[in-house]
Amino acid sequence: MHLRRQPDDPRFALANAIGAETMEQFHAQGDAHVAVLRYHGLENGMNVYDLGCGCGRTAQALQRLGWTGNYTGADVVPELLAELARQCPTYYAVLNYDRTIKAENASLDMLFNWSVFTHLLPAESFLYMEDAFRALKPGGKLLFSFLELEEPEHDRVWRDELARLRNGHDAEQLDTFLHRDWIKRFAREVGFAEPQFTSGTDGSNHPQFWQAIAVMQKPFTTHDFEAR
């Protein structure tokens, strides 16, 4: 993906590069990420993996909000990882380009990625899902955010992009939309239980996320898997 224009303040430049308009927004979004994780079962002591962690919007919020556990953030941009390492010195930051999860088999309680599958080809996201399944413990969860055309606010992104291309400009970045039926199919093929979805406008259990959220759980036993 393309990093955005870099403002003067280096911390803000990195936050802005991953989409935050202000530092206040960066912090509020991080807090919302943690609220989603907590709603879906995050506890102290867990082993979590943040795929496409950027400069640590979620990591900094986890630290700020007092969560304790093992955190690994992986990204393809060294400058972003360096900022994560600066801000959260007890967390692991991993540079990784090869669409795999840098974790042992069945070692993770939660693996999440926010605004990452929105910038990858569906096949790349599928490969990450497959490897997430390997790396998660039985009962572990993969959570990710996505854009769906059925959501009017996301449809606006689609229409803006069409207008841009029609006017002869290049797209600013790759914006990938997924359909819930595709996500269900991917989950089935990989071995996850039926995914749970939250619309971007749903604020009933945690702050509205704007992007939609999918949660896939690795079955606890082979029997759970075969029974589906």
Residue placing its CB nearer to ligand SAM in the complex, 52 or 193: 52
Say if residues 55 and 24 touch (Cβ distance below 8 Å): no
Say if residues 109 and 140 touch (Cβ distance below 8 Å): yes
Residue placing its CB nearer to ligand SAM in the complex, 52 or 195: 52
Cα(109)–Cα(177) distance, integer angstroms: 27
Residue placing its CB nearer to ligand SAM in the complex, 54 or 195: 54
The residues with which 112 forms a beta bridge, in sequence order, are 50, 143
The secondary element (H helix, E strand) that includes residue 218 is none
DSSP 103-127: S-TT-EEEEEESSSGGGS-HHHHHH
Least distance between ligand SAM and beta carbon 228 (Å): 29
Angle 178-182-183 (CA atoms, 0-180°, nearest 5)? 80
DSSP 66-95: T--SEEEEEES-HHHHHHHHHH-TTSEEEE
Least distance between ligand SAM and beta carbon 225 (Å): 27
Residue placing its CB nearer to ligand SAM in the complex, 51 or 111: 51
Least distance between ligand SAM and beta carbon 168 (Å): 26
Say if residues 74 and 52 touch (Cβ distance below 8 Å): yes
Least distance between ligand SAM and beta carbon 188 (Å): 23
Least distance between ligand SAM and beta carbon 220 (Å): 28
Least distance between ligand SAM and beta carbon 58 (Å): 6
Residue placing its CB nearer to ligand SAM in the complex, 75 or 131: 75
Residue placing its CB nearer to ligand SAM in the complex, 178 or 193: 178
**Where on the chain is the footprint of ligand SAM (CB under 6 A)?**
1, 18-19, 51-54, 57-58, 75-77, 80, 114-116, 119-120
